[in-house]
Structure 1
Amino acid sequence: MNNVAEMGARRAQVAAALQQVLPARAVLSAPEDTRPYECDGLAAYRQLPMIVVLPDSEAQVLAVLKVCRELGVPVVPRGAGTGLSGGAMPIAAGVVLSTARLNRIVRMDAYARTAVVQPGVRNLAISEAAAAHGLYYAPDPSSQIACTIGGNVAENSGGVHCLKYGLTVHNVLRVRVATIDGELVELGGEALDAPGLDLLSVFIGSEGMLGIVTEVTVKLVPKPAVARVIMASFDEVLKSCHAVAALIAAGIIPAGLEMMDQTSSRMVEPFVKAGYDTEAAAILLCEADGTEEEVEEDIARMTAVLNTAGAIAIAVSRSEAERLKFWSGRKNAFPAAGRISPDYYCMDGTIPRKRLGQVLAGIAAMEARYGLRCANVFHAGDGNLHPLILFNANIPDEFHRAEAFGAEILALCVEVGGTITGEHGVGIEKIDSMCVQFAPAELEAFFSVKRGFDPHGLLNPDKAIPTLHRCAEFGKLRVSGGALPFPHLERF
């Protein structure tokens, strides 16, 4: 929009059209009403949306999409807003479509071990509802008390138990989707396989760019009879990295295998009082679950491997309360960062396990180079890193240094054979790093998929997939020693 008057007229036009298909209370257009939607968990980037809509049925979602399609208005889907990559950041001349009011558990089938839920149902609420049947939903992001299943589908979220039980894509059987053209399509199915192309796997993790989720069928798993956690302390970070590789090499697949460095432990312990060893250079949390006999055997095997790998201390949870306390520290690492730093920037990259030591050493060198601290807490078992770069946005240029620090971490992940995201998505945060990972032909293939679902380009545009022009400009900014570090950018 060229000026305030034009934006005001456009807002009035779109709001009036939306009020024809939604109750007045479900259309928010005043700045004081739309302000809470200006960002997601990546609060460093903010944009006030033109309008926010709050449909409470599938029919209303379709009606909103029809209005936006006819008027050419971009639509940004939003769950609980806990995402960390800016995937739900609004567009100034667009509509934010919140699925918060689509929050019913439609049905639960204890025999088939499935639950059918609307996208606004909280992750943890599924397990709470399934508990009466001795079942639960396995993926457990740190934000599980607040994040919704629709957002989990959009980002392909994981959690501390993803090593054994998988990510969202491994635990969703079917999604019902409203397309921008007003169709309802079902991807996947409740059988072991579905006919045709596996579009379910394409859709999960697509960050709201292909359609709006209106219903999800998830797998439920039996709650283990017993679960216990080992906390192993190491006097060197490298030893803890070798221990991770040794556990997997021994044929042990823990229910959870997480690592925290000393900065993270010292950040979390005063906040949660989880009993962490704050003198250790790094700690590993290794969980075993199953029957009493299985857990006892796994704990013994893991203890032996950890001792051989150089653990200087080992503690095993003695009760369910203590097990939950150990995990509470890991799951509260992000909020605990606020105790020691005014701001933090949470990155998300995945690397081969054998490269953990190399990458953590690289991050330590970057800390010195950028003059910023970094707390490392992550899913060690599947190599999914979550470096927390600590900075103060009130100090000029610190945020830009934090951004550059994060981009260099992701470039290192790619260099060692990894990827730029494991479970947080690309959004706007890592869109330039996509240029590091993918060549022009690959990016064009992504756009071809996008056009197949959204030919109008109205669903969450300008997120996740960078244009070739953007990559060319990004490449120009990364000239070092007179040469581009990513030669394929020179072809643009």
Structure 2
Amino acid sequence: MNVLSDPALILPRQRKVVSALRALLPAYAVLFNEEDTRPYECDGLAAYRQLPMVVALPENEAQVVAILNTCRDLKVPIVPRGAGTGLSGGAMPIADGVVLSTAKLNKIVKLDTFARTAVVQPGVRNLAISDAAAPHNLYYAPDPSSQIACTIGGNVAENSGGVHCLKYGLTVHNVLRVRMVTIDGNIVELGSEALDAPGLDLLAVFIGSEGMLGIVTEVTVKLIPKPQAARVILASFDDVVKGGNAVANVIAAGIIPAGLEMMDQTSSRMVEPFVKAGYDIDAAAILLCESDGTAEEVEEEIGRMSEVLNGSGATRIEVSQSEAERLRFWSGRKNAFPAAGRISPDYYCMDGTIPRKHLARVLLGIADMEIKYGLRCANVFHAGDGNLHPLILFDANVPGEFDRAELFGADILELCVEVGGTITGEHGVGIEKINSMCVQFSAQEREAFFGVKRAFDTAFLLNPDKAIPTLHRCAEYGKMHVQRGQMKFPELPRF
């Protein structure tokens, strides 16, 4: 155990850190009483919780610099936090550390309609960027399901995507420049507002680094014109294999839809009573295929996609006839996660990526795992780019169910690796998938990751013990994996 995590020793240290931070920030921006820090004990992965020692709420870049300098000097670890909507435990606090929230850095600094860019602070909500750009007929493309609440800083940390990332890309494809502060208190700008930037492409390294390399203080994002028209096909299939193959067939036909999502019957049935999207709840699987562009382009592409879907065995095809109907079709997919609460006390959302051609194989594999672990699973996929979001349904009040859910999830990720995919798509590794990193990457590859970490953060104070597993952790996981151990993270507080 780290001696600083010992409750008997943490109080004097807490006083010292609070005193140092209050010399930098207003009193209301330094939280340390339990009733104030409790809301920061976890992110969207609520199964793992830890009260932070202190929460700091800077309001400008100078305060971020000062906090990092102070924490470095005191050797206090820092966990960056956006809106807390992440699903991998990446923002879970450390008992003897400071949570640095960027929530108060929430200004849209500049909107350039000629360059089609927006300069925003990290606490700006994803959807707020599009709302601000809407009068100029522009919007920000990445649209994670949590876009009403998640912030651009968190999106940068996790390289978030969304239902339209197949055509318009992930965060990394839509960010031009990031201004950030290193653990040494240096302000660094990565990327450029020009078409290219000199030197190594560190922007791509930083995006998706889960807060381990620096604290974001400003982001320049691309804005794109709103399409003149958009329509979506809602296609039903009586077999999940046919539905999975239809996804591959659409892409093989040379069509890149604006969105291509898949939901199995369990997902459709849990969503339909919640949002009344008009889903076929008798179908084994449904696909949502969107086309956008000019009216002529959309009409032509909808026709081509309908032809491919019919040829792939679709039993029913509906095409949205109005913007309201298009949004209604999407509302079910966008609300899949909250709808899970209608049919299960708890759910465990996984996130892996596979080659599209193996969608059917993985779906069948997950069905076998449902029997193996005695748990239901609702499958919701960004099918077009092979990003899976299986929702494992369980009841935390039933002894052993969460343990089985974790093993179920680990098996899904291993199946993703087996078919040539990866253990994560857009949720990040955090603590949730850190053991699965041992499955995908060799010791040499993991050491290369640590090399990048050391280049930015020699003291390992920024979000330590997240995302990259140590050799020791992988050795222990190997033993537990062989024995099918019942505790994925025995050292972490749960529930």
TM-score by length of 1: 0.97
1:451 lines up with 2:430 in the alignment: no
Residue 155 of structure 1: how far off its partner (Å): 0.2
Letter in 1 for 2:242: K
CA offsets per residue over residues 276-317 of structure 1, 9 Å max, x none? 000000000000000000000001000000000000000011
CA offsets per residue over residues 217-273 of structure 1, 9 Å max, x none? 000000000000000000000001111011001100000000000000000000000
User: Where do 1:232-381 residues align within 5 Å?
Assistant: 232-381=235-384
Instruction: Give the equivalent residue in structure 2 for 1:486.
Output: none
Letter in 2 for 1:252: I
Residue 2 of structure 1: how far off its partner (Å): 6.2
1:396 lines up with 2:399 in the alignment: yes
Instruction: Give the equivalent residue in structure 2 for 1:65.
Output: 68
1:85 aligned to 85, 88, 96, which one? Answer: 88
Instruction: Give the equivalent residue in structure 1 for 2:28.
Output: 25
2:201 aligned to 198, 204, 208, which one? Answer: 198
Residue 478 of structure 1: how far off its partner (Å): 1.9
Aligned to 2:299, the other structure's residue is in SS state helix
Instruction: Give the equivalent residue in structure 2 for 1:168.
Output: 171
1:31 and 1:227 map into 2 onto residues whose CA distance is 48
Greater CA deviation, 1-10 or 177-186? 1-10
Aligned to 1:478, the other structure's residue is in SS state helix
Instruction: Give the equivalent residue in structure 2 for 1:386.
Output: 389
Instruction: Give the equivalent residue in structure 2 for 1:10.
Output: 13
Residue 476 of structure 1: how far off its partner (Å): 1.2
- Report percent identity of matched pairs: 79
Structure 2 residues not aligned, in runs of 5+: 485-495
2:7 and 2:236 map into 1 onto residues whose CA distance is 59
CA offsets per residue over residues 373-425 of structure 1, 9 Å max, x none? 00000100000000000000000000000000000000000010000000000
CA offsets per residue over residues 56-85 of structure 1, 9 Å max, x none? 000000010011000000000000000000
CA offsets per residue over residues 426-447 of structure 1, 9 Å max, x none? 0000000000000000000000
User: Where do 1:136-215 residues align within 5 Å?
Assistant: 136-215=139-218
1:116 lines up with 2:119 in the alignment: yes
Residue 477 of structure 1: how far off its partner (Å): 1.4
2:412 aligned to 409, 418, 443, which one? Answer: 409
CA offsets per residue over residues 121-170 of structure 1, 9 Å max, x none? 00000000000111000000000000000000000000000000000000
Residue 5 of structure 1: how far off its partner (Å): 3.7
Residue 10 of structure 1: how far off its partner (Å): 0.6
CA offsets per residue over residues 349-387 of structure 1, 9 Å max, x none? 000000001111000000000000000001000000000
1:288 and 1:234 map into 2 onto residues whose CA distance is 20
Letter in 1 for 2:110: R
Instruction: Give the equivalent residue in structure 2 for 1:125.
Output: 128
TM-score by length of 2: 0.97
1:391 and 1:106 map into 2 onto residues whose CA distance is 44
1:54 and 1:86 map into 2 onto residues whose CA distance is 20
Q: Flag the 1:292–1:66 CA change in 2: closer, same or farther, 3 A.
A: same
Residue 4 of structure 1: how far off its partner (Å): 2.9
Letter in 2 for 1:88: A
Q: Flag the 1:360–1:224 CA change in 2: closer, same or farther, 3 A.
A: same
Aligned to 2:482, the other structure's residue is in SS state coil
1:118 and 1:133 map into 2 onto residues whose CA distance is 20
Q: Flag the 1:63–1:234 CA change in 2: closer, same or farther, 3 A.
A: same
Residue 90 of structure 1: how far off its partner (Å): 0.1
1:7 and 1:480 map into 2 onto residues whose CA distance is 36
Residue 202 of structure 1: how far off its partner (Å): 0.2
Letter in 2 for 1:41: G
Task: Verify the 8 A CA contact 2:352 2:416 in the aligned structure 1.
Answer: yes
Residue 6 of structure 1: how far off its partner (Å): 1.7
Letter in 2 for 1:418: G
Aligned to 2:408, the other structure's residue is in SS state helix
1:420 lines up with 2:423 in the alignment: yes
Q: Give the aligned length.
A: 481
1:126 and 1:378 map into 2 onto residues whose CA distance is 25
2:292 and 2:11 map into 1 onto residues whose CA distance is 57
Aligned to 1:386, the other structure's residue is in SS state strand
User: Where do 1:29-40 residues align within 5 Å?
Assistant: 29-40=32-43
1:479 and 1:314 map into 2 onto residues whose CA distance is 46
2:114 and 2:144 map into 1 onto residues whose CA distance is 26
